[in-house]
Chain A
């Protein structure tokens, strides 16, 4: 294992929440204790993940091999820069979301909360597993666990609508998983190994036809979870889930797992050189560009706040896909940073939507007139995140977008640059009217509501604060900028 330093930390990071599941179920009749378990596990996970940061920055990757999954393929974990970015994002936001979900679930009187918190913890284990996987088979294992563990969360309400959404969710994601499995098996057949390596490990003997098949299988397989159009329609349906699920899983963990899969497949399996050689990356750019534009246009048409956020998520995921497909250091840096930045900002928006739903029982944008006067803090946070997603400084979105745009210029892809800039306008177009409505329109007579409960409000403000902090000082907190840059350089090294 290159650069690997033996350490049980990655394993601990994965297992913390899996162990917590046992206690969550055990304490199902004592809600306070049960939620304490969730919070402890979230804090513990964040601490473990965070503790690996200094080592990774020095290029010493904590790694552990557990046992064989198949002859020559181990269940192996290894923490590199790209994986750490994803893991930091997931574990940081899990802690924030845990507080928020307690407020949300209790505030809206949801049933079956034990199942909710237990499934949530399983999802987080799987997410960290995905981030730290050292080879494709390990990756696939966690990837499928994530698909299955999210299902009870999507169908949480048990209503016919939720069950329908669950069915759609599985139909899409299991199909994606199956195609991905074909890609992995074929990779093994072609390369004889599945261990990730920066710059890819497909031997040069592989012909263009083989590469094209592999690339398409990976792109379609991961395309389902990354909601690349036309494989996206499960995501808006999944918004029927409780808001913390939409926030953490459908803006951060699940969809980012798909995007992260594309990072691994293109940068660490196929390799930018091979892809550039056969011009395959162009397909990815086009798919991403189309998704960005169409998703933004569709977002305009949504009156349901969560649905609009969902379409916005689809668009922003394709920002990342677009960045990856550029195969330039700037594009990759921007893409990897946007994984983190978009996560932080989008979760803020979802938190706000959930707080409005629980506090004022409103779901539609047309009903939000004057809500900003009743819930100034919530809508203030909403504004910061919306500004950030539109790419306006000083919020976090600006920096990642700057890199993405400069990546397109480096490659002389002016159309893609135009798409990104246009998308910024679209974002402003579909977010700012909400802000305008909330603050400048008079509230309806019937709107007698106060600020959200503190358990929800504090996470909202923390998330909004993070969006600002990351925008002003991207190396603060988690040294995001350095991590992204160093990961990008390793992958792109060959071309650069």
Chain B
């Protein structure tokens, strides 16, 4: 049974996606229940698999019993296990949150929502597990297609931003496929474990160099790494809350995972660091992204849009870690993937919950909410502090590893960028905290519906806030068991 876990996770998600869709036509509530069940199942499988990986080594599944490199292989190693936990765990809690497609939109448009979220989750799990380059592309396209659909469900300019994302992501996907093609020409194989052995002989061939450049550029586009981030703010701010949370927290982070996987297990570090300055380019682009994302976030007054720009800055943190390409840097990048998944989910759910409850979307409207929604705003404070990187939250520890990584690499500029970004994050989050806990404007207090979020919304929010603190306390456990083995190759 255990050796089937790698295939069971994506399959069960995609399988239940079908039922969820059918039930959604009958009643939206049923489809949410099934989606929650399916994600819970996937999460338990991921936990089970992780325990197995920790105790007796990586799991491998070969389709149709064809042994790799000829057959298709799914591999669950510590790095995949870590990503699966992030994807399914975050997804499970997010699906508990009752969401509306958006404002002034008929309920009907929400019918396919849960089905597509499951499909997206299945695709992301597939990416984390894929042991060969082409299957990774297949799952990448599944995630892209479901993302187009999900973004377009939202309100406002959702359809337009979905179309924009479609164009950008298609270019990204095509670049990746082109790159894979070149690698295949040069090595004659697609299996990652095989490619890494065959590549060193042909490192200098133009096909390999071109392939690597295409792959990295394509994925950076999907990851919204500055300056390829322009599609992200629109797509994330018009999507429904759960979707926005899922996209920002998990979907783009998986693209970062792909680059780390390429660095560690497809191209060797010598190639991506030494022969081609690919990680350097990622790192410097990310350094720009950290600053630009934060500055743009400061300029926003719409809460969701501010969060979207903050995502541009935060994903660039991950890029910064990749750019360092040393064990501490990559550890920091991976830990930040988890921390960001938790804190951004929490913040998007709060943004969505507050908008559904009171209609407030502008940050100026948050004035005085601390009195009316003490629990929600306590969770908000925890996640905001984590975004700034105040200890003992999870956000601090990822920053700590990134700092150590910068010093290890002797890169003082990255160190300064990380610290400057802390201050910039402080500006836009403390601006909100100040409003939230200031006394409400007596003039408009009566105009809005006061009161705490309903329990169904509050529970996921509080769980995320608790996890932000728990991951902070348990960061060493995660690093020692899952991340250190993953970055051994460096």
Binds A, one of B34-42, B210-218, B402-410, B452-460: B402-410
Chain B interface, number of residues (Cβ within 8 angstroms)? 29
Using A148-B390, A185-B407, A189-B407 as known contacts, say yes or no to A70 and B476 having CB atoms under 8 A apart: yes
Chain A contact patch, size range: 20 to 34
In whole angstroms, what is the CA distance A137 to B437 when docked? 29
**Which residues of chain A from 50 to 73 have any CB-CB distance to chain B below 8 Å in the complex?**
67-71
Contact of B51 with A by CB under 8 A: no
Contact with A along B435-448 (1 / 0, CB 8 A): 00111000000000
Contact of B475 with A by CB under 8 A: yes
| Contact (Cβ within 8 A) A141 B397 | no
A348 CB, nearest partner CB in chain B, Å:
31
CB-contact partner of A178 in B407, B419, B479, under 8 A: B419
| Contact (Cβ within 8 A) B403 A182 | yes
CB-contact partner of B404 in A140, A175, A188, under 8 A: A188
| Contact (Cβ within 8 A) A71 B423 | no
Contact of A44 with B by CB under 8 A: no
Contact of B391 with A by CB under 8 A: yes
By DSSP majority rule, is chain A's interface helix, strand, loop, or mixed? helix
Contact of A166 with B by CB under 8 A: yes
Contact of B434 with A by CB under 8 A: yes
**Closest A-chain residue to B433, C-beta based?**
A151
| Contact (Cβ within 8 A) B426 A174 | yes
Contact of A170 with B by CB under 8 A: yes
**In the complex, which residues of chain A have a beta carbon less than 8 angstroms from the beta carbon of B476?**
67-71
Contact of B480 with A by CB under 8 A: yes
Contact of A432 with B by CB under 8 A: no
A37 CB, nearest partner CB in chain B, Å:
19
**Closest A-chain residue to B476, C-beta based?**
A68
**In the complex, which residues of chain B have a beta carbon less than 8 angstroms from the beta carbon of A181?**
400, 403, 419, 422
How many A-B pairs with Cβ below 8 Å? 67
| Contact (Cβ within 8 A) B479 A71 | yes
| Contact (Cβ within 8 A) A141 B391 | yes
**In the complex, which residues of chain B have a beta carbon less than 8 angstroms from the beta carbon of A145?**
390-392
| Contact (Cβ within 8 A) B407 A70 | no
Contact with A along B291-329 (1 / 0, CB 8 A): 000000000000000000000000000000000000000
**Closest A-chain residue to B439, C-beta based?**
A158
| Contact (Cβ within 8 A) A155 B437 | yes
A446 CB, nearest partner CB in chain B, Å:
32
Contact of B54 with A by CB under 8 A: no
**Closest B-chain residue to A68, C-beta based?**
B476
Contact of B490 with A by CB under 8 A: no
Contact of B415 with A by CB under 8 A: yes
| Contact (Cβ within 8 A) B434 A163 | yes
| Contact (Cβ within 8 A) A167 B434 | yes
Contact with B along A144-160 (1 / 0, CB 8 A): 11001001100100100
| Contact (Cβ within 8 A) A67 B407 | no
In whole angstroms, what is the CA distance A174 to B431 when docked? 14
In whole angstroms, what is the CA distance A70 to B479 when docked? 9
**Which residues of chain B from 324 to 347 have any CB-CB distance to chain A below 8 Å in the complex?**
none
In whole angstroms, what is the CA distance A360 to B403 when docked? 53
**Which residues of chain A from 114 to 168 have any CB-CB distance to chain B below 8 Å in the complex?**
137, 140-141, 144-145, 148, 151-152, 155, 158, 163, 166-167
In whole angstroms, what is the CA distance A137 to B400 when docked? 10
Using A67-B473, A70-B400, A148-B385 as known contacts, say yes or no to A174 and B422 having CB atoms under 8 A apart: yes
**In the complex, which residues of chain A have a beta carbon less than 8 angstroms from the beta carbon of B397?**
69-70
**In the complex, which residues of chain B have a beta carbon less than 8 angstroms from the beta carbon of A68?**
476
**In the complex, which residues of chain B have a beta carbon less than 8 angstroms from the beta carbon of A140?**
391
B387 CB, nearest partner CB in chain A, Å:
13
| Contact (Cβ within 8 A) B390 A189 | no
**Closest B-chain residue to A69, C-beta based?**
B476
**In the complex, which residues of chain B have a beta carbon less than 8 angstroms from the beta carbon of A137?**
400
Contact of B163 with A by CB under 8 A: no
| Contact (Cβ within 8 A) B434 A155 | yes
Contact of A186 with B by CB under 8 A: yes
Contact with A along B451-474 (1 / 0, CB 8 A): 000000000000000000000010
Contact of B284 with A by CB under 8 A: no
Can you give 29 A-B contacts (C-beta < 8 A)?
A: A67-B476, A68-B476, A70-B475, A70-B476, A71-B480, A137-B400, A141-B391, A141-B392, A144-B390, A144-B391, A148-B385, A151-B433, A152-B437, A155-B437, A155-B438, A158-B439, A163-B434, A166-B434, A167-B434, A174-B423, A174-B426, A178-B423, A179-B419, A181-B419, A182-B415, A185-B403, A188-B407, A189-B407, A189-B408
Could you tell me which A residues sit within 8 Å of B by CB distance? 67-71, 137, 140-141, 144-145, 148, 151-152, 155, 158, 163, 166-167, 170, 174-175, 178-179, 181-182, 185-186, 188-189
With A70-B401, A181-B400 given, name 20 new contacts (CB 8 A): A67-B473, A141-B391, A144-B391, A145-B392, A151-B433, A163-B434, A166-B434, A167-B430, A170-B430, A174-B422, A175-B423, A181-B422, A182-B403, A185-B400, A185-B403, A185-B404, A185-B407, A188-B404, A188-B407, A189-B408
Closest 7 CB pairs of A and B: A68-B476, A189-B407, A185-B403, A158-B439, A141-B391, A178-B419, A174-B426
